[in-house]
Structure formats: structure tokens, C-alpha cells
Amino acid sequence: MPTRSAQEWIRLSMRTPGILIFGMVMAPCGWVLNLTSTVSPNWRTLNTLPNRPSDVFIQQGIFDICEATTTSTNLDCTLADSSYFGNEIIRVSQGMMVASLVVTLIGLAVAIPGVRCWRDKPQWVVAGLGGMLIFCSGVLTIIPISWYTHILTNITTVSSQNDVRVGYCIVLGYIGGIFEILGGFVMFIGICRCCGGKNRGEVRAEEVVSRYRPKPQPRRVDVPSLDRPRSSASSVPYSKESLDDDVSFPRAKSAAAQSRNSSFNGTPYDADL
């Protein structure tokens, strides 16, 4: 698309464009969900533990492991399990989830000066760079979440008797990562002007000029009068005698004349009298 100067595009309003509002709402929501997924010890749940009561289960996260029961709300956390924390997926997930939280904060800090609404127009390059950082933070969240889900039953400390289930942290991580990916991508679209400038809430100057240009007045056409001259002796432009003279064919007799000459042989009624 050819480059245009700033004077050739006009903002429709002083409000913040919708794509920036969408990104600035989705990014914090995704960050909160990712934070909950990172610190909560429930990436997976182990049930039917050997040599344990049937109501006892273990919740495993990437930073902590807790033991709980179905009959009580108390949790016994900070359990040591060197074989579980020694897995590669755990170390990678710890680093990528923390990096995702930090990158999201940096992206928001960069995007906020670009989307502020008290300017005539946002700083699209700055807001787009912030959106790119937020998009990358969402990718950093999706990768460990997907990897952990893929090898959920292959991580150590799991026997054939255990009932392995996905924890709520996996669900929150997926939702938070998708929020950040969508919000960052939509904000990054603002770097390039597309869709005729509608993604930025702008229109071309010539479109605005043509929209408010006054319409031409309709052309007035003089139509000749078709009125016929009227006679001074009558209110109509012709007389009955002139119509009788112009007729060159015999006229049919009227129904009223025929009814006067015909004889009536029926019985009269009271209404006729």
C-alpha cells in the first residue's frame, strides 16, 4: 500500500481505537490467569495412591506438591519429590512460565504510552511493539502447557495403579495464553494501516471532503402550458353545438330515450305508485 502523509488521513473521533482497547483488556486478563496457573500446585492430580486411603490424592504443580483428601479442605504442601522436579519438563515449564509473566508486564509497559487517548492519534509503532511482546508472552505460556499435557502420564512418580487427571492449572494456562496471543496480535495489526484505515479508526481525507461536499441544486426546466383559450361567453373552452357538428358518424340512441317509448306490461307495485 503506498505511503501517505499524516495530513491525508483523518481520525473519526478522539477515542482510543477498538483494537487497542481489545488488546489492553485481554493482556491483563491473560496475565492473571497465567499467574494463577504458575503458582498453583495443580497441573495434574494423582488418585488411587498405593498404600494410602482411597480419599487421599496428590496435586502436583511446577513449584509445589500438595496432599489433600476429599473429606477435608486442608492441604499438606511443600512435599519433597526429587524425581518429579528432576524432569526436564518441570525445569522448562518453570523458566518459560516466569518469563511469560515478565514479558507480559514489559509489553504492557511499552503499550500503555502508545495507546493513551489524550493525543490526537495513538503512537501506532509503540503500541504495536507492545502488542508483539504480549503475543510472545502468550506463546511462552502455550508451549510448556501443551508439552506438559502431551506427556501427562509419562512423567515419573506415576504407576499403573494411579488415576492421572488434568489439573485446573492446565485449563487456566491455555485460556490465559490464548488471551495474550489474541490481544497481542490484534494490537500488532495497528502497525500497518489496512482495511482502508478502518483498523485505526481513520478514513482518507478525500472521502471526508466528498462526504460533506454540498450537493448540486436540481436543474429547473420550463414546461410550456397546454391550457386552451376559453370563450368569453362560457366557462368551458368549447360548446355543445361545436361537438355535435364535428361528429361524422351516427350516434347510438340513449337508453333513457328507448325506455320512454317502450310500453310497460308488468303489474305495478306500491312503490311505483
Nearest to 145 by CA among 62, 208, 216: 62
Mapped onto helix, strand or coil, the DSSP state of residue 29 is helix
| Class in CATH terms, 8-211 | mainly alpha
- DSSP-assigned letter for residue 254: P
Short-list 133, 107, 103, CA closest to 35: 103
Rg (alpha carbons) of the chain, rounded to whole number: 44
Q: Would you state the cell numbers that stand for residue 11, as one nine-digit string?
A: 481520525
> What is the pLDDT tens value at each position of the chain, 273 positions in all?
445 554 465 555 556 777 888 899 999 999 999 999 999 988 988 887 777 777 888 888 899 888 888 777 777 887 778 888 888 999 999 999 999 999 999 999 999 888 875 666 778 888 889 999 999 999 999 999 999 999 888 887 666 667 888 889 999 999 999 999 999 999 888 777 655 555 565 665 555 555 555 666 677 777 676 665 655 555 555 555 555 555 555 555 555 545 555 555 556 555 555
DSSP H or E stretch at residue 76: strand 72-76
Provide the pairing of β-strand 44-47 with 56-60: antiparallel
pTM score > 0.85 for this model?
no
Label residue 93 exposed, middle or buried (CB < 10 Å: 0-12, 13-18, 19+): buried
